[in-house]
Amino acid sequence: MQVMISGLVGRAAQSLPQTTDGLPVVETALAVKTADGKDWFAIQFVGTNLVDAAQVIRKGDTIAVTGELTFEPSGNGSKVNSKPIVAVSDLELCDSPIAY
């Protein structure tokens, strides 16, 4: 499912193992404001151009991303505790911070 979300970067981008095609991957976390507080998403940048773009974002930055939303099952296979992951196709740095 294609999504667009915006929020605060929760940590610096960290390198992950390359894809099976040999593309670089980095991941960070994004806190998205909701009516109940906030939800956390893993944000993955795949490919040289996106990985280079991800290197400019820092913890506390406000960003908006567009990408494919998937869910990684938890260790016990439960969908209740699954990890939401957005594979980024577009990144936008936002000027105004989001209040939490």
Q: Is residue 29 part of a domain?
A: yes
Q: Give how far Cα 74 sits from Cα of 5, 55, 94, Å.
A: 22, 28, 32
Residue numbers of the domain that contains 39: 2-93
Q: Is residue 11 part of a domain?
A: yes
Q: Choose between 99 and 39: higher pLDDT.
A: 39
Model confidence pLDDT, tens digit, residues 27-46: 999 999 999 999 999 999 99
Q: Is residue 82 part of a domain?
A: yes
- Per-residue pLDDT at 77: 60
Q: What's the rounded Cα separation, in Å, for the pair 9 and 63?
A: 7
Q: Is residue 18 part of a domain?
A: yes
Q: Is residue 26 part of a domain?
A: yes
- Per-residue pLDDT at 4: 97
Candidates 35, 29, 36; CA nearest to 14 is 29
Q: Is residue 70 part of a domain?
A: yes
Residue 72's CATH number: 2.40.50.140
Q: Is residue 86 part of a domain?
A: yes
- Per-residue pLDDT at 100: 54
The structure's pTM equals 0.86
Q: What is the DSSP letter of 11?
A: S
